[in-house]
Amino acid sequence: MSMLELYNGALNVPEIITRWYAQESDYNYGAYIPFIGTVREEDGIDGLSFDVYEPILTAWFETWQAKAASLGAKLKMAHSRGDVLVHQSSYIAAVFSPKRRVALETIEKFVEDFKASAPIWKYDLKNGQRLYAADRSTAIQGAGLLGSDE
Protein backbone atom coordinates (compact mmCIF):
# COMPACT_ATOMS: atom_id res chain seq x y z
CA MET A 1 0.00 0.00 0.00
CA SER A 2 1.49 3.32 -1.06
CA MET A 3 1.78 6.03 1.55
CA LEU A 4 1.75 8.65 -1.22
CA GLU A 5 -1.65 9.50 -2.70
CA LEU A 6 -2.30 11.78 -5.66
CA TYR A 7 -5.78 13.05 -6.53
CA ASN A 8 -7.31 14.97 -9.37
CA GLY A 9 -8.73 18.13 -7.79
CA ALA A 10 -9.29 18.97 -4.12
CA LEU A 11 -8.58 16.53 -1.28
CA ASN A 12 -11.37 14.99 0.78
CA VAL A 13 -9.77 15.90 4.10
CA PRO A 14 -12.11 14.12 6.55
CA GLU A 15 -11.95 10.89 4.54
CA ILE A 16 -8.16 10.92 4.25
CA ILE A 17 -7.20 11.79 7.81
CA THR A 18 -9.83 9.43 9.25
CA ARG A 19 -8.69 6.55 7.03
CA TRP A 20 -5.03 7.16 7.88
CA TYR A 21 -5.92 7.19 11.58
CA ALA A 22 -7.73 3.86 11.24
CA GLN A 23 -4.91 2.29 9.19
CA GLU A 24 -2.31 3.02 11.86
CA SER A 25 -4.36 2.65 15.03
CA ASP A 26 -3.06 -0.83 15.83
CA TYR A 27 0.65 -0.03 15.48
CA ASN A 28 1.21 1.48 18.93
CA TYR A 29 2.08 4.94 17.64
CA GLY A 30 1.72 7.48 20.43
CA ALA A 31 1.56 10.46 18.09
CA TYR A 32 -0.23 11.27 14.80
CA ILE A 33 0.36 14.76 13.40
CA PRO A 34 -1.45 15.71 10.19
CA PHE A 35 -0.52 18.95 8.43
CA ILE A 36 -3.41 20.11 6.26
CA GLY A 37 -2.73 22.75 3.64
CA THR A 38 -5.69 24.88 2.55
CA VAL A 39 -5.83 27.27 -0.40
CA ARG A 40 -6.25 30.81 0.91
CA GLU A 41 -8.13 33.67 -0.67
CA GLU A 42 -5.40 36.06 -1.73
CA ASP A 43 -4.82 38.58 -4.54
CA GLY A 44 -8.21 37.84 -6.05
CA ILE A 45 -7.42 34.25 -7.05
CA ASP A 46 -10.20 31.73 -7.64
CA GLY A 47 -7.89 28.91 -6.62
CA LEU A 48 -4.62 27.18 -7.41
CA SER A 49 -3.67 24.54 -9.92
CA PHE A 50 -0.86 21.99 -9.76
CA ASP A 51 1.34 19.93 -12.05
CA VAL A 52 3.01 16.91 -10.43
CA TYR A 53 5.92 14.89 -11.79
CA GLU A 54 5.23 11.55 -10.20
CA PRO A 55 8.46 9.52 -10.80
CA ILE A 56 10.72 11.97 -8.98
CA LEU A 57 8.09 12.81 -6.38
CA THR A 58 7.81 9.11 -5.53
CA ALA A 59 11.60 8.72 -5.23
CA TRP A 60 11.81 11.83 -3.03
CA PHE A 61 9.01 10.52 -0.83
CA GLU A 62 10.57 7.05 -0.48
CA THR A 63 13.86 8.64 0.64
CA TRP A 64 11.94 10.47 3.36
CA GLN A 65 10.04 7.34 4.30
CA ALA A 66 13.34 5.53 4.87
CA LYS A 67 14.59 8.43 7.00
CA ALA A 68 11.39 8.33 9.07
CA ALA A 69 11.59 4.55 9.41
CA SER A 70 15.09 4.85 10.88
CA LEU A 71 13.47 6.88 13.68
CA GLY A 72 10.62 4.40 14.14
CA ALA A 73 8.19 6.78 12.40
CA LYS A 74 6.01 6.59 9.30
CA LEU A 75 4.98 9.30 6.80
CA LYS A 76 1.89 9.66 4.65
CA MET A 77 1.17 12.30 2.08
CA ALA A 78 -1.68 13.32 -0.22
CA HIS A 79 -1.53 15.99 -2.91
CA SER A 80 -3.76 17.36 -5.65
CA ARG A 81 -3.11 17.69 -9.33
CA GLY A 82 -5.15 20.13 -11.40
CA ASP A 83 -7.43 22.77 -9.96
CA VAL A 84 -8.17 23.34 -6.27
CA LEU A 85 -10.45 26.22 -5.33
CA VAL A 86 -10.11 28.69 -2.48
CA HIS A 87 -10.81 27.14 0.95
CA GLN A 88 -10.27 23.63 -0.38
CA SER A 89 -7.26 21.48 0.53
CA SER A 90 -4.46 20.53 -1.86
CA TYR A 91 -1.95 18.97 0.52
CA ILE A 92 -1.88 16.74 3.57
CA ALA A 93 1.31 15.44 5.15
CA ALA A 94 1.24 13.27 8.25
CA VAL A 95 3.66 11.57 10.57
CA PHE A 96 3.08 8.71 12.96
CA SER A 97 5.64 7.93 15.63
CA PRO A 98 5.95 6.26 19.00
CA LYS A 99 6.71 9.56 20.75
CA ARG A 100 5.81 13.20 20.17
CA ARG A 101 9.33 14.65 19.87
CA VAL A 102 10.22 12.64 16.77
CA ALA A 103 6.79 13.36 15.28
CA LEU A 104 7.03 17.13 15.81
CA GLU A 105 10.57 17.37 14.45
CA THR A 106 9.91 15.08 11.50
CA ILE A 107 6.75 16.84 10.31
CA GLU A 108 8.55 20.19 10.31
CA LYS A 109 11.57 18.94 8.35
CA PHE A 110 9.42 16.93 5.98
CA VAL A 111 7.06 19.80 5.11
CA GLU A 112 9.94 22.28 4.68
CA ASP A 113 11.87 19.95 2.38
CA PHE A 114 8.65 19.25 0.50
CA LYS A 115 8.34 22.97 -0.28
CA ALA A 116 11.96 23.15 -1.46
CA SER A 117 12.33 19.87 -3.32
CA ALA A 118 9.11 18.10 -4.33
CA PRO A 119 8.60 18.28 -8.13
CA ILE A 120 5.26 20.09 -8.05
CA TRP A 121 4.45 23.32 -9.87
CA LYS A 122 1.84 25.82 -8.70
CA TYR A 123 -0.32 28.13 -10.79
CA ASP A 124 -2.75 30.86 -9.75
CA LEU A 125 -6.23 30.61 -11.21
CA LYS A 126 -7.22 34.20 -11.89
CA ASN A 127 -9.52 35.84 -14.44
CA GLY A 128 -9.83 32.57 -16.32
CA GLN A 129 -6.06 32.17 -16.65
CA ARG A 130 -3.59 29.66 -15.20
CA LEU A 131 -0.47 31.63 -14.21
CA TYR A 132 2.77 30.02 -12.99
CA ALA A 133 3.55 31.20 -9.44
CA ALA A 134 7.16 32.00 -10.34
CA ASP A 135 7.79 34.43 -7.48
CA ARG A 136 6.71 31.87 -4.82
CA SER A 137 8.68 29.00 -6.35
CA THR A 138 12.06 27.67 -5.24
CA ALA A 139 14.81 26.35 -7.49
CA ILE A 140 15.65 22.75 -6.63
CA GLN A 141 19.08 22.23 -5.06
CA GLY A 142 21.64 21.92 -7.85
CA ALA A 143 19.57 23.96 -10.30
CA GLY A 144 21.40 25.88 -13.01
CA LEU A 145 23.61 22.96 -14.00
CA LEU A 146 23.02 23.45 -17.71
CA GLY A 147 24.03 27.10 -17.48
CA SER A 148 27.21 26.40 -15.54
CA ASP A 149 30.66 26.25 -17.11
CA GLU A 150 32.02 23.49 -14.90
Partner 1 sequence: MVTIEFLGPIQKAPLTLEASSLRDVARVLKEDPEMAQWIENCAVAVNDTLVASLDTALQSGDKVSLLPPVCGG
147 is a site residue for partner 1 (CB under 8 A):
yes
| Residue 54 near residue 6, CB atoms below 8 Å | yes
128 is a site residue for partner 1 (CB under 8 A):
no
* Residue choice 2, 18, 25, 137 for contact with partner 1 (CB under 8 A): 137
- Beta-sheet pairing, 89-97 with 31-38: antiparallel
| Residue 7 near residue 15, CB atoms below 8 Å | no
Angle (CA) 61 101 57, round 5°: 5
Q: CB of 22: closest distance to partner 1 in angstroms? A: 25
Q: CB of 88: closest distance to partner 1 in angstroms? A: 13
In 3D space, the residue among 132, 47, 145, 34 whose CA is nearest the CA of residue 92 turns out to be 34
111 is a site residue for partner 1 (CB under 8 A):
yes
Sign of the C-alpha dihedral computed for residues 98, 104, 108 and 109 taken in this order? negative
Angle (CA) 12 18 22, round 5°: 145
* Residue choice 2, 59, 101, 104 for contact with partner 1 (CB under 8 A): 59
Question: For residues 29 and 122, which CB has a smaller minimum distance to partner 1 in the complex?
Answer: 122
Identify which range of 24-32, 61-69, 100-108, 138-146 contacts partner 1 by CB under 8 A: 138-146
Identify which range of 7-15, 61-69, 99-107, 136-144 contacts partner 1 by CB under 8 A: 136-144
- For residues 142 and 87, give the distance between their C-alpha atoms in angstroms, rounded to a whole number: 34
8 is a site residue for partner 1 (CB under 8 A):
no
Contacting residues toward partner 1, per CB under 8 A? 37, 50-51, 53, 55-56, 59, 79, 90-91, 111, 114-123, 132-134, 136-148, 150
